[in-house]
């Protein structure tokens, strides 16, 4: 138990870097999709650079962070097995499963874009980018509030956040349509 705080600190550091990767990779996808609509040679130059940036982010930061965050999380659960009997931990682990599903789907999109197989619009990717944000909010509130968390208020709060994020995306699109340089 004397190492508990070190393990917890490492878990949190890698959760933060994992989310940093999950927040930034869809932005690179957006730029890649938008670059594919440009004329040559700009299209090829941007595509090559964005593929390289995505590859480095994904395999040097995001994947290792996901793995290390998981290793330290399992270690924490082995040190504190009583957490597995608590309801908030069951809900948190469900969100972690959802996070891994999001991560794996993002990996599929990454592989498609590496082949220049563009299947999504930049608008879709802006919405996709908010998935990690919603999961992060849910997990943080669960961990901080634990059993004191009021599920109805929490659910309403997540839904309100999702609506606000969607409205922000629409507002940005309007601004961008009026001023393409924005």
Mean pLDDT, the chain, whole residue set: 92
Cβ–Cβ < 8 Å for 109, 29:
yes
- The pTM assigned to this predicted structure is 0.85
pLDDT at 151: 64
pLDDT at 177: 82
Q: Give the three-state DSSP class for 20.
A: helix
pLDDT at 169: 84
Residue 11, annotated ligand binder? yes
pLDDT at 178: 85
Cβ–Cβ < 8 Å for 66, 104:
no
d(CA 93, CA 104): 16
- Average pLDDT for residues 48-72, to the nearest whole number? 98
Least confident of 17-26, 37-46, 64-73, 150-159: 150-159
Residue 103, annotated ligand binder? no
Higher pLDDT, 64 or 139: 64
Cβ–Cβ < 8 Å for 54, 25:
yes
Tokens of 37: 């609509």
pLDDT at 174: 85
Neighbours of 132 (CB within 10 A): 22
């Amino acid at each position: 138990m004397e190492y508990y705080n070190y393990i917890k600190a490492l878990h949190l550091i890698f959760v933060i870097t994992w989310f940093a990767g999950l927040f930034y990779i869809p932005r690179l996808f957006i730029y890649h999709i938008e670059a594919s609509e440009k004329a040559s040679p700009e299209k090829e130059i941007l595509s090559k650079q964005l593929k390289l940036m995505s590859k480095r982010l994904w395999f040097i930061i995001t994947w290792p962070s996901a793995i290390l965050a998981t290793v330290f999380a399992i270690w924490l659960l082995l040190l504190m097995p009583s957490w597995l009997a608590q309801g908030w931990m069951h809900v948190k682990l469900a969100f972690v499963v959802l996070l891994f599903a999001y991560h794996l789907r993002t990996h599929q999109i990454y592989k498609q874009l590496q082949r220049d197989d563009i299947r999504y619009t930049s608008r879709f990717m802006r919405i996709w980018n908010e998935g990690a944000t919603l999961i992060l909010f849910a997990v943080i509130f669960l961990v901080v509030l634990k059993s004191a968390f009021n599920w109805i208020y929490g659910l309403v709060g997540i839904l309100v956040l999702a609506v606000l994020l969607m409205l922000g995306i629409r507002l940005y699109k309007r601004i961008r349509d009026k001023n393409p340089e924005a």
